[in-house]
Amino acid sequence: MSNNKQLPKINKRTSIAKSMLFSIEQLALTFSNGAERVYERMEGSGRGAVMIVPMTTDDQLILVKEYCAGTHSYELGFPKGLIDPGEKAIEAANRELKEEVGFGANELNALHKVAMAPAFFAGDMEIFTARDLYPEKLPGDEPEPMELVYWPIQNYAQLLSRSDFNEARSIAALMLVVDQLRTRK
C-alpha cells in the first residue's frame, strides 16, 4: 500500500449547523489530482473518549445496559464516556467506571485506540481493560441507573449473538480482549 497520498488542500471551512452536542462544518477541498469536492463533517471537541472493559477476578465481563437515543432502544455494551477538559484518558476511564458501574480499578491497561467514524468525525476512543476492581460509586450524568450484566468471557460467542449487543465499538473491544487473552495463554 502506498503512503504517497497527499492530503487535499482545504480551500474553505464553513460552519453550517450547531446543536448542544454537535457542530457540523463544510470543507471545500482540492485534491492533488485537481478534483474539487465539498465534504461535511462533525467537528470534534479534540478531547476524545474512553471505553472500559471491566473484568472480575473470575474473568467475567461487566457490561451496562443503557438507553441509546440514536436507536431509541436499550443496548448492552461496555461503559464509556468523554474525556473531561484537563483529564488524561486513563483518569477518564477510571472515573467513567465509577460513575457507570460503581467500581474503580487498581489496574487499567490501554488496549487500543479506535476512530469512531473517520469519514465524518475526528474523534478517537481509547479502549482500556480494567482489573482488580474495588467498589466506589461516583455520581454520573445518566438519567437513570444503568443495569449491570455480568458475562463470562469464555461465553463471548453467545454475547455476540444477542440482538442488544450490536455496537461496533463494544464488539471491537470484546474481540480485542478475547485476542489478548488467547495470546497470553
What domain range is 32 assigned to?
A: 9-42
| Same domain? 60 vs 133 | yes
Indicate whether 1 belongs to any domain. no
Task: Answer whether residue 143 is part of any domain.
Answer: yes
pTM: 0.86
So what's the pLDDT on residue 56? 96
Q: Are residues 111 and 131 in the same domain?
A: yes
Residue 141 grid cell: 450524568
**pLDDT at residue 143, as a whole number:** 86
The partner residues of 53 in beta bridges, in order of sequence, read 129
Assigned C-alpha cell, 125: 476512543
Please report the pLDDT score of residue 120 as a whole number.
79
110 shares a domain with 26 = no
Residue 4 in domain: no
Q: Is 56 in the same domain as 87?
A: yes
Same domain, 133 and 82: yes
pLDDT tens-place values along the chain, 185 residues long: 556 789 999 999 999 998 877 788 899 999 999 999 999 988 766 688 999 999 999 999 999 999 988 889 999 999 999 999 999 999 999 999 999 999 999 999 999 999 878 887 778 899 999 999 999 999 988 888 889 999 999 999 999 999 999 999 999 999 999 998 888 76
Statement to judge: residues 60 and 28 lie in one domain: no
Helix-strand-coil split of the chain, %, nearest 5: 20, 45, 35
| Domain match, 91 and 36 both | no
What's the CATH number where 54 sits?
Answer: 3.90.79.10
70 shares a domain with 131: yes
Closest CA to 47 of 9, 96, 11, 100: 96
14 located within any domain: yes
pLDDT of residue 2: 55
One domain, residues 57 and 135: yes
Domain membership of residue 2 (yes or no) is: no
Q: How many structural domains is the chain composed of?
A: 2
* Same domain membership, residue 68 and residue 152: yes
Q: Are residues 110 and 164 in the same domain?
A: yes
Nearest partner of 82 among 64, 71, 65, 95, judged by Cα: 95
